[in-house]
Amino acid sequence: MSNYETIFSPPLHAGTLVRRSKRFLAYVNLDDGREVVAHCMNTGSMMGLIEPGSRVWLSPQDKPERKLKWTWEIASQGDVLVNVNTSAPNRIAAEVIEKGHISSLAGYRSLRREVRYGNKSRIDILLEDHPDDPRPCYVELKNVTLVENDCAMFPDAVTARGLKHLHELAGMVKEGARSVLFFFVSRADVTSFRAAAHIDPKYSEALAAVSKQGVEICAWTFPPSPESIGLGREIPILLDPS
pLDDT given for residue 2 in this prediction:
62
| CATH number, position 140 | 3.40.1350.60
Are both 211 and 92 inside the same structural domain? yes
pLDDT given for residue 94 in this prediction:
97
Are both 171 and 216 inside the same structural domain? yes
Instruction: Identify the domain containing residue 122 by its residue range.
Output: 88-238
The domain boundary, picked from 35, 58, 83, lies at 83
Contact status, residue 59 vs residue 74, Cβ threshold 8 Å = no
Nearest Cα to Cα of residue 144 among 181, 187, 102, 88: 187
Domain count, the chain: 2
Are both 127 and 170 inside the same structural domain? yes
The domain boundary, picked from 30, 59, 83, lies at 83
Contact status, residue 205 vs residue 163, Cβ threshold 8 Å = no
pLDDT given for residue 64 in this prediction:
81
| CB within 8 Å of 103: residues ≥ 6 apart | none
pLDDT given for residue 241 in this prediction:
61
The pTM assigned to this predicted structure is: 0.94
Longest alpha-carbon distance in the chain:
57
Are both 209 and 105 inside the same structural domain? yes
In whole angstroms, what is the distance from residue 55 CA to residue 28 CA? 9
What is the DSSP track for 33-69? S-EEEEE----S--TTS--TT-EEEEEE---TT-SSS
Are both 104 and 46 inside the same structural domain? no
Are both 107 and 157 inside the same structural domain? yes
pLDDT per residue of the chain (242 residues) written in tens, 0 to 9? 467 999 999 999 999 999 999 999 999 999 999 999 999 999 889 999 999 999 999 999 888 888 899 999 999 999 999 999 999 999 999 999 999 999 999 999 999 999 999 888 899 999 999 999 999 999 999 999 999 999 999 999 999 999 999 999 999 999 999 999 999 999 999 999 999 999 999 999 999 999 999 999 999 999 999 999 999 999 999 997 64
Contact status, residue 142 vs residue 184, Cβ threshold 8 Å = yes
Are both 128 and 50 inside the same structural domain? no
Are both 100 and 186 inside the same structural domain? yes
Residues in the chain: 242
Are both 129 and 185 inside the same structural domain? yes
Are both 120 and 218 inside the same structural domain? yes
Are both 180 and 232 inside the same structural domain? yes
